[in-house]
Amino acid sequence: MDIINELPEKRFNELDDLLAFISIYDDDNRTRAYMEMLNQNRRKIKNKVCVEAGCGFGLISEYMAQLGAKKVYAVEMNPQLFQIARQRLCQYSNVELIYADILDFKPNEKVDVLVHELFGQMLYDEDIYTLDRLQFNPQLVLPDKAVLMGGCINSGELVDETVTPEIIQKLNGALVSGLFDDEEMELTFPIVPWQFDKCHYDTICDISSQEGDLLYMGLHILHNEQVICRAGECSNWSYIWTPRCGNRFSLSFKPSSRGTQVFFDWLK
Ligand SMILES: C[S@@+](CC[C@H](N)C(=O)[O-])C[C@H]1O[C@@H](n2cnc3c(N)ncnc32)[C@H](O)[C@@H]1O
């Protein structure tokens, strides 16, 4: 979904974010996996103070309220999504909806549980970096880990009349989402991890042991070392593709006021 006409910048950004984020609710696998994770942790949520960083439609905060949380702070900074969440959450006396950037949120009480889903397709290319700079220290973070994984394949297995070998060659140095259908291809090696309080914004990856002239990347989200969401299975996270131009590459992320910049280079 794209906005076609010119709008004032603030309004454009608000609506652009709204349209980007509502598409996550087409991904039932993602939402189901999150609900299941909450259900498995229901004893750690009941009677506890919980925060949802970026509550979107408010589904997750609603479920934590239903699981008996003592208090749920549902924090959302997009005004349009905040209004949608308000309609859903206003019936729960144990939910406080907060219109704020999670970076500015400073609760007056100890936070037991933080739930978040701020992962980009390349892991760090959305808002996960904000969890590095919180003004509170949650005891439990759900989910607690994610890894950007990689795989290599011979492009001959995938090329067709549209995405030809010539087209692939021209993409040298570019990371492209949606180049091929996400066919649940196996992600075989880790590229860069995330854990709460342990962001890795720069990495160098050596793929000399891998075979194939096409590199693809995709996200695994884990809790307690179990994968709960993976690119390909969850439509919210696509595979990212690039022609292989060497055995080592660098990947780095630079958070900025609107999203995070991604830098990618093949190394000699
Ligand atoms: C991918 S959506 C997830 C929504 C919800 N947590 C869920 O899983 O259904 C991310 C949400 O976080 C919000 N968000 C992103 N960065 C934020 C920040 N720094 N502070 C507050 N909300 C933020 C976005 O507006 C969006 O609603």
Q: Which of 235, 244, 100 is nearest to 177 (CA)?
A: 235
Burial 156-166 (b: 16+ CB within 10 A, else e): eebbeeebeee
Distance CA 254, CA 260 (A): 5
**Mean pLDDT over the full length of the chain:** 95
**Atom of ligand 1 minimally distant from the CA of 101:** 20
**Helical (H) or strand (E) element with 50:** strand 49-53
The count of other CB atoms within 10 Å of the CB of residue 183 is 8
Q: What is the reported pLDDT for 185? A: 86
In the chain, count H helices and then E strands. 6, 14
Which residue's structure tokens are 């704020």?
100
State whether the beta carbon of 159 lies less than 6 angstroms from ligand 1. Answer: no
**Strand-strand pairing, 140-142 and 113-116:** parallel
Mean pLDDT of 106-117: 97
Pocket residue to mutate for ligand 1, from 14, 17, 38, 55, most atoms within 8 A of Cβ: 55
Pocket residue to mutate for ligand 1, from 77, 130, 134, most atoms within 8 A of Cβ: 77
Mean pLDDT of 243-249: 97
Name the closest-CA residue to atom 4, ligand 1: 56
Residue 253 Cα to chain centre, angstroms = 14
| CA of 118 relative to ligand 1 center, distance in Å | 6
Q: What is the reported pLDDT for 123? A: 97
Fill in the DSSP letter of residue 43: H
Beta bridge partners of 142: 115
Six token digits for residue 130: 């904000």
Taking only the tens place, the pLDDT of each residue in 127-151 is 999 999 999 999 999 999 999 999 9
Q: With 0.85 as the threshold, say if the pTM is over it.
A: yes
State whether the beta carbon of 58 lies less than 6 angstroms from ligand 1. Answer: no
